[in-house]
Structure 1
């Protein structure tokens, strides 16, 4: 059974960075969404969209549990918006991309990167969900940072500030085109003396240049070789556009790092990354280079996501699912993940860092695995 007929043709495009990615024809919303100003603001942006009230943003009949939706993966992403109220205000210690993962203000994405881990928990569709109770999230972060006090010992995340990853379940550059949630978060950190925000992105949203972050938000532009990105980074900004934006975001007051993630091993991958490093070095200016750092994350894939991808993007799986190079690891949640084999992966990580150091010796590596 397919579900294509349940997703009507989209209305004329909205304006802004999502103009060609999201044309909302249906909004699923929890009962309390319209009690919040942010919920009413978002709904006002899509006055002609059909509204469907649901009990939970995680449990939408006909959407997440419908196996036939896998074939309509991108159509659903491009026409569907989910609005919910964030219930749990919990914080998770991280230690890699950030010190802490705060309550998320969105889940899912309008883009369709084939390796994204978020869909593993949703099933056969992954439209973006925006949480409308932003004031409660902001208050939770203020309380959490206040209890921490100053960061007295530097660590690989940051030497001065406690860092909160704002986009571990979504892409904040895309979220910012749907609501002011991201703007509110960026401005919050400008007044927190001991903390900063951070997020990785694959979309160049120049509206963020006007947010005045004052050095208290770190953007990590995700990069991979162009040929891989054309196949795997579906519905994202081109790699060249992301690189070209780095200087502008530094000038606007952001700390800009690079996120080499995921590193996907293919025949001749070294040449692809060598060319990428050379392009970055040729493009960015001295100010960007002086503050540059990177994180390096080799691919971890997932059995359930592999099965979904085979239904909408099988060519991507030719690169992502490589049993001859990978080994199984069962996650804490019981999911069957695969990663490059122990020992082999260690050699890959070392080779990657040597390539990076040769072309971009000024780029500090915050962590690599």
Structure 2
């Protein structure tokens, strides 16, 4: 199958991506959004594939562990989103929107996303964005006004648009995220939401009109340097918060994952002081946070030993953790429940004392 001629307009994405090979389903390759993406990397090799789910040299090959980060930097996949349903959630958001992307160019050592497609799981962009937007718009129109406040939002129905990817990085690849921000900015009673560990200042040029909630993920800087691989440094994330509020976004925080190690509470106290110094009164007035303690996975632990074993010194702690079998049968580990209850209470007490201006939406 011949490759399509790429459009001539191109921009140079940041160095987190240096795409040299693009795997593409036929329909995605020839779509308008696909052509826009190909134009950004005109020198990349184009590899036709039947399905974005089944690419043996990317997914399910344990030898890829040795190329974990390289694959994330150099490979990109174009596909079409087949399942366009909106799913209920109720914790961070009321609903999970159909994804406009899957996978990530970053490489956080605790991330669950690699378990979905297998191993490195670079970014897959779904090019049928008009269908995705249409599905969300129709669902939002059916909801009507929110009858009563809940932990997701007091007035709006909240849709998570980044369940299996980081939208800030996705926006480096295509205009999908910009299209979704525009949709929610024009949809009364509905709000987009996504968590991010990357600072993409191009998003400040959009016009969210209060319709998008950006949840910056934060943890103590030393821990982030160990486990948040290829992400924006914590000081850079802190420095961006006020700017996103001023640009018309709602900004919340993800304190996630909370990792218990020597001196962990002292490290969180320092982070909260840094957060206090970095945020304006206007920002503090609209902040809220989620607190999520670490859950790790036995299979991911084995994978990490092949590319980043130092992270496992803090992530895999049999002396502190107990097994939990997930709904899909995977063996996960989490802090022993009695200890975890104590740790959660300790961090919530610290938040109440150091950051009383940041209410906790939920903690677990």
- Shorter-chain TM-score bucket reads over 0.9
Unaligned runs of 5+ in 2: 1-10
SS of residue in 2 equivalent to 1:322 = coil
Q: CA deviation at 1:35?
A: 3.5
Q: CA deviation at 1:361?
A: 0.6
1: CA distance, partners of 2:56 / 2:357: 51
- Is residue 2:300 matched to residue 1:305? yes
Of the structure 1 ranges 271-280 and 31-40, higher mean CA displacement relative to structure 2 is found in 31-40
Q: CA deviation at 1:34?
A: 2.7
SS of residue in 1 equivalent to 2:290 = strand
Task: Decide which of 160, 166, 176 is 2:155's aligned counterpart.
Answer: 160
Task: Decide which of 113, 121, 134 is 2:116's aligned counterpart.
Answer: 121
SS of residue in 2 equivalent to 1:168 = coil
- Is residue 2:180 matched to residue 1:185? yes
| Residue number in structure 2 paired with 1:330 | 325
Q: CA deviation at 1:323?
A: 1.1
SS of residue in 2 equivalent to 1:167 = coil
1: CA distance, partners of 2:119 / 2:195: 24
Task: Decide which of 250, 253, 256 is 2:245's aligned counterpart.
Answer: 250
Q: CA deviation at 1:312?
A: 0.5
| Residue number in structure 2 paired with 1:229 | 224
Q: CA deviation at 1:353?
A: 0.7
Task: Decide which of 65, 72, 75 is 2:67's aligned counterpart.
Answer: 72
Pairs aligned (count): 355
| Residue number in structure 1 paired with 2:4 | none
- Is residue 2:180 matched to residue 1:197? no
For residues 209-288 of structure 1, the aligned pairs below 5 Å read: 209-288=204-283
SS of residue in 1 equivalent to 2:306 = helix
Q: Which runs of 4+ in 1 moved over 4 A?
A: none
- Is residue 2:171 matched to residue 1:176? yes
SS of residue in 1 equivalent to 2:172 = coil
Q: CA deviation at 1:93?
A: 1.2
Q: Is the 8 A contact 1:68 1:124 kept in 2?
A: no
Q: CA deviation at 1:45?
A: 1.1
For residues 91-170 of structure 1, the aligned pairs below 5 Å read: 91-170=86-165
For residues 46-61 of structure 1, the aligned pairs below 5 Å read: 46-61=41-56
2: CA distance, partners of 1:252 / 1:149: 27
CA RMSD of aligned residues (A): 1.1
CA shift digits 1:50-69 (9 cap, x unpaired): 11111111110222122111
Q: Is the 8 A contact 2:321 2:335 kept in 1?
A: yes
TM-score using structure 1 length:
0.95
- Is residue 2:57 matched to residue 1:62? yes
2: CA distance, partners of 1:24 / 1:33: 17
Q: Is the 8 A contact 2:12 2:40 kept in 1?
A: no
TM-score using structure 2 length:
0.96
Q: CA deviation at 1:32?
A: 1.1
CA shift digits 1:147-193 (9 cap, x unpaired): 11110110010000000011110000000111000000000011111
1: CA distance, partners of 2:362 / 2:330: 25
